[in-house]
Amino acid sequence: MRICVLLSCSLLPLVACSDYGMNDIEEGDVVGGERQLLVEPEVIDFGLRTVGDTITDTFTITSVGATTVELEPLHISGSGTFTLLGDSVEGPLAPGEFVEVEVAYTPATPEDEADAVVESNAEASQIYVELLGEGEMPDLVYDPQQVVLQSWDGNPVYGSFLVRNEGLVDLVVESWVLQGENFTAETDLPGTLGPGEETEVDVSWTPVSEGEELGYFWASSNDPDGSEVATLQGIFEPPCLGLHEAHTRGLVDMYGNVSGIYVEHLGEDQDVCIDRWYVYISEDTQDAGAGDPAFLESDVYGEEGSIELSDGSSVFFEPASATQPAWWCVEETQTTDTAHSFDFTGAQVPPMLLDRMLDDRNQDLVWSDISDNPVMIVGRTRGWASMVAGGSTAMEVEVINIGRIAGVAHVSETVPAGMEAYNFGVEPHDEAVGEDGSITYSWEISLEAAQDTGITSQTVYDSQILGYTLEVGDEACTARARTPEPVVSWIDASDNAQSAAGSPFIIECW
């Protein structure tokens, strides 16, 4: 490294710069403020280099201000593949002086990056020279580097990841190792992957108890950075079942009397979560909407619900409570002095009624909304099925008008990609294919007004069941597959658009 005087050192580059009177600077040579440095170039790109070779380049630090700048020792921040050569550069740099700094690069990875850091008491106290380089070598990459294998029921789960060569020369995989007692792997490796080539590794995990287990896949290869591993995360965590699924599977009982409504867990291992307000229609008469006044809008298949029932526990819905789990009447003429059981389809309370129950907290307004409008609910006759890949099951979506005014229900049902719907009992009016390959079927159903009866008889509701056959293909057959919630929309008596939803259909597929 050589310290030189601006415009003088270039005449005799091998002679000590101090011999040329570096203090004799003309005023016109000053291009900055009091203490200014000019560092150039700002970027040094060493390009693509063969592994094992060393290449050098330089950058220049020039004092372009009116006052001497004190340089701190230069250093490299980042990859250790770059080094500063020669004596340490530090100390004063008078106006007009410059110093050349030599940098060496020895490739270590396909992409090396660092900064040469110039620190001083100049107005810009830190200046960076970006250093770039590429090593001509193989690069083994796992995609993804972490695979989550989640079992909901203790059965084996399956997944895969890719081993890819993102380097510029052949990747030679000599062997591989899988750690983890309950994990398995199948792959074409060992072998050779050219630049850009990849191969799949199929993995599985068989849980032996609830909880989490980790496994690791490592491949021995000619990648100089051969320490990376693919992590396999096995999780066995039974889900908190949604209320409609639990009811279909016979894991809960629902009944009511003069005191309120009960939902009782029947003592099975899996928890049951209630995270919506649902409509309960009695076989005699005590139709109601019930839920938690402080409920959280969540998804029981990803988070816990507002109400969680463990083995043998129950929840009691009080009449119109503002703080405890509550129920509200959705028929004005009813009796509550005897026990009743309920026909439960997983239909959610329509938001137009839920607003009355949670915000206005006024039973009369609930009844008046039902009296003055069509009020639609949509659900399924069952919320769960167990199937095999390529198997089929009968599906029934039920829409009911609980309002005392007739209306048209616009019902939509979405079938995910990999599943097929056919044998429709009522042909859809329309179908639309989504970007993800799903198909949404739509119906328009005219429903008459609900008819009130005597106080001891059930209200007569107009309803329509939309039946079809659902087939699940191999690619959609997972331990817990699901279809989205059915949705119904309609126009109320004030020409406002209203809607309501049901529960998803859960498929345990093997």
Alpha-carbon gap, residue 319 to 344, rounded angstroms: 19
Residue 320 CB-half CA count within 13 A? 12
Which domains, ranges and CATH numbers included, belong to the chain? Answer: 3-136 (2.60.40.10), 140-236 (2.60.40.10), 241-509 (2.60.40.740)
DSSP assignment, residue 170? -
Percentage with pLDDT > 90 across the chain: 64
Mean pLDDT over 23-45 rounds to: 69
Q: What's the one-letter identity of residue 105?
A: Y
Write out the DSSP string of 301-329.
Answer: TTS--SEEE-TT-EEEEEET-SSSSEEEE
Q: How confident is the model at residue 8 (pLDDT cuts 50, 70, 90)?
A: very low
Mean pLDDT over 249-269 rounds to: 88
Alpha-carbon gap, residue 71 to 74, rounded angstroms: 8
Query: CA nearest 146: which of 211, 65, 90, 228?
Result: 228
The pTM of the full predicted model, rounded to 2 decimals, is 0.61
State yes or no: pLDDT of 228 exceeds 70: yes
Quick check: helix, strand or coil at residue 24? coil
Highest mean pLDDT among 7-16, 73-82, 148-157: 73-82
pLDDT for 432-450, tens place per residue?
Answer: 999 999 999 999 999 999 9
State yes or no: pLDDT of 19 exceeds 70: no
Alpha-carbon gap, residue 300 to 310, rounded angstroms: 14
Residue 355, C-beta contacts closer than 8 angstroms, at least 6 positions apart: none
Number of Cβ within 10 Å of residue 500's Cβ equals 26
> Which strand (E) or helix (H) includes residue 353?
helix 351-355
**356-383: b or e for each residue (b if 16 or more CB lie within 10 Å)?**
bbbeeeeeeebbebbbebbbbbbbbebb
Mean pLDDT over 393-405 rounds to: 97
pLDDT value of residue 199: 97
Q: How confident is the model at residue 33 (pLDDT cuts 50, 70, 90)?
A: low
Greater pLDDT, 107 or 215: 215
State yes or no: pLDDT of 279 exceeds 90: yes
State yes or no: pLDDT of 483 exceeds 60: yes
C-alpha angle 148/177/479, rounded to 5°? 25
pLDDT value of residue 26: 42
- Are the beta carbons of 290 and 278 closer than 8 angstroms? yes
State yes or no: pLDDT of 421 exceeds 80: yes
pLDDT value of residue 303: 55
Alpha-carbon gap, residue 202 to 296, rounded angstroms: 39
Alpha-carbon gap, residue 147 to 155, rounded angstroms: 17
Residue 286 CB-half CA count within 13 A? 21
Mean pLDDT over 11-31 rounds to: 33
Reading the block at residue 410, the tokens are 């616009």
Highest mean pLDDT among 99-108, 274-283, 449-458, 483-492: 483-492
Alpha-carbon gap, residue 218 to 132, rounded angstroms: 29
Alpha-carbon gap, residue 165 to 189, rounded angstroms: 13
Alpha-carbon gap, residue 426 to 110, rounded angstroms: 61
Reading the block at residue 375, the tokens are 């009020």
pLDDT value of residue 331: 84
- Are the beta carbons of 274 and 296 closer than 8 angstroms? no
pLDDT for 236-247, tens place per residue?
Answer: 887 889 999 999
- Are the beta carbons of 138 and 191 closer than 8 angstroms? no
The region of weakest confidence among 105-109, 339-343, 362-366, 413-417 is 339-343
pLDDT for 134-193, tens place per residue?
Answer: 888 888 999 999 999 988 777 888 999 999 999 888 999 999 999 999 999 999 999 999
State yes or no: pLDDT of 375 exceeds 50: yes
Reading the block at residue 25, the tokens are 């600077």
Cα 325 to Cα 243, 277, 285: the distances in Å are 15, 10, 21
Alpha-carbon gap, residue 106 to 153, rounded angstroms: 53
State yes or no: pLDDT of 494 exceeds 80: yes
DSSP assignment, residue 83? E
Q: How confident is the model at residue 338 (pLDDT cuts 50, 70, 90)?
A: low
pLDDT for 291-324, tens place per residue?
Answer: 998 876 666 655 556 899 988 899 999 988 888 9
Cα 310–chain centre separation: 28
Number of Cβ within 10 Å of residue 333's Cβ equals 14
Alpha-carbon gap, residue 268 to 262, rounded angstroms: 17
pLDDT value of residue 298: 66
pLDDT value of residue 30: 45
Sign for the CA dihedral angle at 79, 115, 8, 96 comes to negative
State yes or no: pLDDT of 6 exceeds 60: no
Q: How confident is the model at residue 342 (pLDDT cuts 50, 70, 90)?
A: confident
Strands (DSSP E) contained in 283-391 are 288-291, 307-309, 314-319, 326-329, 340-343, 376-380, 384-387
